[in-house]
Chains A and B, each alone.
Chain A
Amino acid sequence: MIAVIDYGAGNLRSAVRALQHVGAALTVSDDPKVIAAADGVVLPGVGATRDTMQELERRGLTSVIPEVIERRTPFLGICVGMQVLAETSEEWGAHACLGVVPGSVRRLPEAGGKVPQIGWNQVHFATEHPLFASIPDGADFYFVHSFYVDTAAPEIVAGRTAYGVEFPSVLAFGSAVATQFHPEKSGRWGLQLLRNFVGLVEAHPKP
């Protein structure tokens, strides 16, 4: 069972529907016990890191997310669900995030184009990863964001996208993956990526 974390903001339904569409058995929950016991965890997101962190804190979810990642439960963070994995964010004033990956959430440079970046852009694979199975390198995915994770750990960058700056559009470390784009809104290739994640969860040895 995959737990999709409900923290009251964002594109929860879209993520749930897309995961269900590719055959995921899932539950939507804001209960840390349910999340801790799940075979896989998805943190969806649309919005701002500050509000997201506040909502996670209010629901007592800021410990369980690092815990499941530490335990190597397959984890997928989407958009702001990727960004809050960083240590800090500068969105709406500097604040702390979950600190799972080294780095900060920074605003896209204005020089690179309009901010937010909204639309379809190419993801270039930096590593081979089962998350990318059956997806062509350079496939278009749907991005909607003003901020990105500026990570100090290049070894965890699995995909990159260029928009003024070349930023990490996919992170992969341990059994966790995270995408700056929205796979649940990226048509065919997005659904394939989610299918691949569900496959990772199913293949992951149960405790």
Chain B
Amino acid sequence: MLTRRIIPCLDVKNGRVVKGVTFANHLDAGDPVALAELYDREGADELVFYDITASSDERAIMADVVERTAAQVFIPLTVGGGIRTVDDMYRMLRAGADKVSINTAAFCNPQLISDGAKRFGSQCIVLSIDARRVNEESAPPRWEVFTHTGGAGRATAKDAVQWAREGAERGAGEIVINSIDADGTRAGYDLELLQAVSAVVGVPVIASGGAGTLEHMLEAVTVGRADAALAASIFHFGTYSIAEAKRYFAEHGVPVRGV
């Protein structure tokens, strides 16, 4: 049986992890390789590196981080941030990434999804979608795609669920759904959004944005029907360990990988 995945996400800037500040002794919390090793030991099912600024200089730094991590950590590694072309994808895959995550570039040029899928296989191409809930009284919920969320963010007027469906049809092998409303609140994932996307796409859906407790992560894969739960601060700040999260899943009947 395919297990549900727990995926820590590391935000990387200039080759250093940002946010991870509270780890105790001996661990350089800013070192992506050291953090990746720690998460690997704890049983993380894969890792995501997100290059939060991604100028062209920084992409070279990122490739180096990926290379050094891939030499030490033997679980799947996804790289996102600043990937705009098939060549960018190739560079990260060649450095040791297993998947690349694309967001704004894919929205602006949907052909990038199909080109990447055709070249490397759909399973390498992760479409990441930032979605914000559109408030309309007494109407069914809907969500709008936002791009350029590394900066101020731009509304697109595009329906997020529809974009997820199109992305999968174009060849994305996984869809990351990040709720802008929930991100950083630690109040739980947007479960309705996850349900809505899971109902229309045939590829794995990864929940992102909002995890504050293990129960939130569990809800993402049970109520939200996501295949994996991605989280950043809940792990970086040491609130919970990956091992605790996996134990919690197992206790609630959700299959997880044994380590």
Contact = CB atoms under 8 A, between A and B. Distances in A.
B238 interface: no
A116 B258 CA distance: 22
Interface stretch (A34-42, A98-106, A185-193, A196-204): A185-193
B123 A120 contact: no
A114 B228 CA distance: 13
Nearest to A144: B123
A142 interface: yes
Contacts of A129: none
A26 interface: no
B202 A140 contact: no
A1 interface: no
Interface stretch (B23-31, B88-96, B187-195): B88-96
Given A46-B98, A140-B257, A186-B74, A117 B121 contact: no
Nearest to B124: A46
Tell me the dominant secondary structure on chain B's binding face.
loop
B108 interface: no
B118 A48 contact: yes
A145 B67 contact: no
B119 A47 contact: yes
A46 B227 contact: no
B132 interface: no
A9 B123 contact: no
B157 interface: no
Contacts of A120: 2-3, 5, 45, 257
A119 B2 contact: yes
A121 interface: yes
Contacts of B173: 116, 118, 144, 146
Contact of A11 (B45, B71, B75, B93): B93
9 contacts: A11-B93, A13-B67, A13-B70, A13-B96, A117-B2, A120-B3, A142-B46, A185-B75, A185-B98
4 pairs of A and B residues whose beta carbons are closest in the complex: A47-B121, A120-B257, A144-B123, A13-B96
